[in-house]
Structure 1
């Protein structure tokens, strides 16, 4: 080969002409380092966890409140009414308790028992109280129902002038069995009455009458039996306030099946006035 066509060498790298780097075309560690890292948003997850924990605490607190409240209320009622320590009494509160406890007042409480004895009369009872203050004060209101059987209804009428030795229910009436004395001889008598309530008193309206096993005219028997006959043949109002706490008022009474269903109204001040827990008083005749 001839030296006339010799190879010309590449020029050396010069700072006058730096190598250009096209953005985004780089690869490798240098490119990764140059690219800004995207920060991961963690706060929604943190917030969700806090909400879940808070909900769990609220549920736990509500559960604890519902576990403690019935026993506390039961103890207070038993103490106030001087009931036996082993008295069966179910307590149930309505609504979510925590806001009510914080506010210091329960919306509604239901109390029920299969058997409770008040002033010698035993029956099943259901009472609903509203606006119950937790820091002292009167109840917003309360009412209830007492159910008694035939034997207890007989006890309820024991203080009256009626010849009551037994009671038989046949809804809506009650038949009273007893006797009265005529010339030293006991004469059996049976009177069927429809019970009710008027102004807090028990009202008995006669329906039929039997003397010595014979049915007699209710309207015409008054003269035959004198004052006893008059009492048996006209509606009677019987005060039973002396057989109930003073804070309870009879509002209605009816025979349902084999029970006498007595509705009562409860004075809200019974929670603060101890005299309302004492036996009531009947006016003198």
Structure 2
């Protein structure tokens, strides 16, 4: 081939001869560069729905906690025939909405500084379990009742002890009165440790004074006969006839100037009216 017909080289690209791009041609990636991407909104929508549902659940829980105590208080006052203005604090454990939907409360606490049941007045703190919302027996209930010296004295009405006054001081109770010997009234003071035995009140003597002098139990038994024996022996006093039949005493201890009584409540008391009436002593 001669030099007169040689092939000339293709001119190099420069700013004076830019390369043109034909519209519609090129790979897919280049086409996506100029196209705006659509944002995915569904995660935000889902988040908003979850937040709204959570707020509704919280609101429902708050409403339930605000309304439930008043409803329970009204039912208790009606069932126990308490005064309309009876102070009674009601609280429930756990999340209420699932319990309300299930028709039963797991645990319900009832507290009051002063309530009168069958003539006995004291502060009560009771916890009920398995509380049905549509009627029925309780799963169970237990708690404590705190009574002062005057109320404790009333519980001792069924004893033969000469009782005029009762003084409570941890852990004992001291009953004071007088006995008549040969026509002479002699002051007697008996210190006992109170407790509960099979539902009865139990008094265990720990000290005795006669005429202001501390005496030996054996001497009292010999000099006062049957009365002396009663003063120095452990006594059991049935007080079932002073309490609702559905309440069983399980323990008693003196705390300062008060007696703290542990009680167990029969779950049928919610449906059996006879358990709200006074019990019977054998």
Given that residues 143 and 264 in structure 1 are in contact (C-alpha distance below 8 angstroms), is that contact kept between their aligned partners in structure 2? yes
Q: What do you get for the CA RMSD once the two structures are aligned? A: 2.1
Displacement of 1:159: 2.7
Alignment-derived partner of residue 238 in structure 1: 237
Displacement of 1:37: 4.2
Equivalent residue of 2:177, what SS? Answer: strand
Displacement of 1:32: 9.7
Q: Partners in 1 of 2:102 and 2:144 — Cα distance?
A: 29
> For residues 198 and 34 of structure 1, do their structure 2 counterparts lie closer, same or farther at Cα, with a shift above 3 Å needed?
closer
Equivalences for 1:85-234 in 2 at 5 Å? 85-234=84-233
Equivalences for 1:63-82 in 2 at 5 Å? 63-82=62-81
Q: Which runs of 5+ in 2 are unaligned?
A: 1-19
User: Runs ≥4 in structure 1, deviation > 4 angstroms?
Assistant: 22-25, 31-37
Given that residues 158 and 238 in structure 2 are in contact (C-alpha distance below 8 angstroms), is that contact kept between their aligned partners in structure 1? no
Given that residues 200 and 249 in structure 1 are in contact (C-alpha distance below 8 angstroms), is that contact kept between their aligned partners in structure 2? yes
TM-score, length of structure 2 as denominator length: 0.87
Equivalent residue of 1:281, what SS? Answer: coil
Displacement of 1:20: 6.6
Q: Partners in 1 of 2:243 and 2:153 — Cα distance?
A: 15
Q: Which moved more, 1:220-229 or 1:90-99?
A: 220-229
Q: Partners in 2 of 1:33 and 1:92 — Cα distance?
A: 63
Q: Partners in 2 of 1:233 and 1:280 — Cα distance?
A: 29
Alignment-derived partner of residue 53 in structure 2: 54
> For residues 20 and 87 of structure 1, do their structure 2 counterparts lie closer, same or farther at Cα, with a shift above 3 Å needed?
closer
Equivalences for 1:3-42 in 2 at 5 Å? 21=22, 36-42=35-41
Given that residues 138 and 268 in structure 2 are in contact (C-alpha distance below 8 angstroms), is that contact kept between their aligned partners in structure 1? yes
Q: Partners in 2 of 1:45 and 1:259 — Cα distance?
A: 62
Displacement of 1:52: 1.0
> For residues 49 and 215 of structure 1, do their structure 2 counterparts lie closer, same or farther at Cα, with a shift above 3 Å needed?
same
Equivalent residue of 1:220, what SS? Answer: helix
Q: Partners in 2 of 1:20 and 1:153 — Cα distance?
A: 106
> For residues 235 and 35 of structure 1, do their structure 2 counterparts lie closer, same or farther at Cα, with a shift above 3 Å needed?
same
Alignment-derived partner of residue 3 in structure 2: none
TM-score, length of structure 1 as denominator length: 0.86
* 1:131-182 deviations in Å (ceiling 9; x for gaps): 1111111111110101111111111112322111111122111100111222
